[in-house]
């Protein structure tokens, strides 16, 4: 299956369990794989045969910068559901939500959740 890939979309949000996360906020990154047939778009060179990256970005931004959630798992589910509902050409999506600086003692690069959802 063909896919469109968007990497390291960056946003500032207020998700987390701890009061300081809800008050101060933090940076989040999102990686996406959008699964759809791109042959028609490649042949016609027409936007209506693909998915507009700017619209995808705006949807993800409204979720990550919107209403705070306790878990990044919920953020990922909300993104996947919204994308699958918004773009009729999508058959599935993979969403990774990355929290580069969670309040964890110790050394690490980041924490993330990744989900794969298909249209029903």
Given a contact cutoff of 8 angstroms between Cβ atoms, the answer to whether 48 and 12 are in contact is no
- Sign of the alpha-carbon dihedral angle for 110, 80, 49, 11: negative
- Can you list the positions of beta strands (E) in the chain? 3-13, 26-35, 92-99, 111-118
Q: Of these residues, 23, 69, 99, 119, which one is catalytic?
A: 99
Annotated active-site residue 99? The verdict is yes
Catalytic residues: 99
């Amino acid at each position: 299956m063909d896919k469109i890939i968007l990497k390291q979309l960056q946003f500032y949000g207020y998700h987390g369990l701890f009061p300081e996360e809800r008050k101060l906020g933090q940076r989040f990154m999102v990686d996406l794989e959008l699964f759809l047939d791109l042959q028609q778009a490649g042949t016609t060179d027409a936007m209506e045969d693909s998915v507009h990256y700017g619209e995808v970005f705006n949807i993800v931004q409204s979720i990550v910068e919107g209403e705070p959630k306790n878990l990044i798992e919920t953020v990922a589910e909300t993104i996947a559901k919204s994308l699958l509902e918004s773009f009729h050409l999508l058959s599935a999506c993979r969403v990774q939500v990355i929290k580069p600086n969670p309040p964890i003692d110790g050394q690490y690069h980041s924490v993330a959740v990744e989900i794969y959802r298909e249209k029903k």
